[in-house]
Structure 1
Amino acid sequence: MNISSGKELVEACEAMGISIGEFAIRQESDETGISREDIWNKMKEALRVMEGSTSKGVSEEVISVSGLIGGDAYRMGKYLKKGKSVGGSVATRAMAYALACSEVNASMGKIVACPTAGACGILPAAVMTLKDEHGISEDDIILSLFAAGAVGAIIAQNATISGAEGGCQAECGSAAAMAACAIVQMMGGTPEMCLDAGAIVFKNTLGLVCDPIAGLVEVPCAKRNAQGVLSAIGAADMVLAGVKSRIPFDDTVEAMYSIGRAMPESLRETGIGGLAGTETGKVLARRIFGGKD
């Protein structure tokens, strides 16, 4: 079955009485001829990498090659242990994990690009936080990753997941929409609720520019990953409480793409405009590349 939109995905899942994750597995097997077991094991391998990248940065100080970022996940991990965080353990843990993945990525460590390396912390932080805080089983986590993949595929097919083409809304926005879908599925939500959560995420990230300092995926990317997972958690909680998105998922994807195309080149991963264009941004870039301040 050829699915090209969120609407078609929800209709197919409802007609078959299955989750988005289950649909994605069946679709992958039908299209590739690869067995369900092999597809499942491949995703399990990805989960192992996610576990490693989230835990490494929290348990030790990981510094990026440029030195722009590093140690923030470790700081957040220590802060979490104090039990006095403003946002509670879920929010603090999620941010720590997201920062950890970003720091591991920037230190040339192994990560899962989900959907990109620049947004690699959001989905892993979401699923690992739910595992720790809600005791979600490994099987349910893996199934949710397939759901996230299905949503990511729809975004990529109809818009873009590239910061160079659509700004950070296309990278961290897409990753957060994928994470929101995964969270809702893990917590027992319907396919329609999964897509509503993704739509809410996009509505709150539209217009987010991609302005990396020195053109590196570090500042402000790491902290945007931390905020991206919070956006996913917030959207998931809203739809699980019964809140619906008045704008359908497919429309939010279309809006994101049109906004991305309208963005000037300086705000699409060129390291020219936005924060990269500030005086501090320019100074940091010169330091990294050996120029004079």
Structure 2
Amino acid sequence: MAFLFDSFENWKQYSIQHNMPLHQIVLEYERTQKGRSEKDTWEGLDNAWQVMKEAVRTGLEEDMTSRSGMINNGAKKVYRYPTAVLSVEFQQLIARALAAKEVNSCMGRVVAAPTAGASGIMPGVLYTLQDIHRIDDQKILEAMLIAAGIALIMEQKASIAGAVGGCQAETGTAAAMGSGAIVYCLGGDTDQIFNAVAITVQCM
């Protein structure tokens, strides 16, 4: 099944031919290519989601000053700033993404999504999405599977490594993963999910 994740077209066609939702195909990939049972995959996703939420809360509630001093509680400053430039929700999303990133910079526990350097984007997006739309955890976990499939394709078509493609390879991929997750959670179909990914990559 590895070939499925060399293009969005193959992923889409497999979904149509086998009448399988996108996230279920990623589950099948984990089982056949990685040897992980469906139960183990769901448990791993749930653990990752808990770590993401914990990183957001830690970054907003605890002291986040790095040894170098370059990180100095910036997330809290954004979160508490009295004037929202675009909207309060967007301000919160940015603050939450920064919070998880600062936890990484201060040697805390994060989820590499897809890398540690970009570890704030998916938590910021998913945490805020759930907060605004009251999306249940199961839907979030399914969105994380779709995001993983997006990252697999990005890794093969370009790179997710900052050492290879610069910071854009990491944060651009994470933003694309987040876009796909948002559209899925809000009821978008396959084309809409993949279009969101493409628009994000173009803009990044």
Shorter-chain TM-score above 0.5: yes
Partner secondary structure for residue 16 of structure 2:
helix
Show the counterpart of 1:19: 21
Quote the offset at 1:25 in angstroms: 1.0
Aligned partners of 1:177 and 1:201 also within 8 Å:
yes
Aligned partners of 1:60 and 1:74 also within 8 Å:
no
Partner secondary structure for residue 188 of structure 1:
coil
Show the counterpart of 2:68: 66
Cα offsets for 1:102-133 (capped at 9, x unmatched)? 11001000011111111111111111111111
Show the counterpart of 1:114: 113
Quote the offset at 1:69 in angstroms: 1.4
Quote the offset at 1:182 in angstroms: 0.8
Cα offsets for 1:23-42 (capped at 9, x unmatched)? 21122112233221111001
Count residues in correspondence.
Answer: 202
Show the counterpart of 1:33: 35
Aligned partners of 1:61 and 1:74 also within 8 Å:
no
Quote the offset at 1:12 in angstroms: 1.5
Code of the aligned partner of 1:33:
G
Distance in 2, matches of 1:61 and 1:96, equals: 14
Show the counterpart of 1:163: 162
**Structure 2 stretches of 5 or more lacking a match?**
none
Percent identity at matched positions?
35
Code of the aligned partner of 1:21:
H
Distance in 1, matches of 2:36 and 2:107, equals: 31
Task: Tell me if 1:131 matches 2:130.
Answer: yes
Cα offsets for 1:150-205 (capped at 9, x unmatched)? 00011112221111211222111111011111111111111221111111111112
Aligned partner of 2:45 among 40, 43, 46: 43
Code of the aligned partner of 1:57:
G
Show the counterpart of 2:58: 56
Aligned partners of 1:61 and 1:73 also within 8 Å:
no
Distance in 2, matches of 1:62 and 1:19, equals: 40
Task: Tell me if 1:153 matches 2:152.
Answer: yes
Quote the offset at 1:14 in angstroms: 2.8
Quote the offset at 1:76 in angstroms: 2.1
Q: Between Structure 1 and Structure 2, which shows a larger proportion of helix residues?
A: 2
Distance in 2, matches of 1:124 and 1:17, equals: 30
Distance in 2, matches of 1:90 and 1:14, equals: 35
Alignment of 1:160-199 (within 5 A): 160-199=159-198
Show the counterpart of 2:90: 91
Distance in 1, matches of 2:155 and 2:121, equals: 17
TM-score by length of 2: 0.93
Q: Which moved more, 1:161-170 or 1:14-23?
A: 14-23
Q: Which moved more, 1:9-18 or 1:49-58?
A: 9-18
**Structure 1 stretches of 5 or more lacking a match?**
206-293
CA RMSD of aligned residues (A): 1.4
Instruction: State the 4+ residue runs in structure 1 displaced beyond 4 angstroms.
Output: none
Code of the aligned partner of 2:66:
S
Distance in 2, matches of 1:191 and 1:151, equals: 12
Distance in 2, matches of 1:36 and 1:55, equals: 29
Partner secondary structure for residue 118 of structure 1:
helix
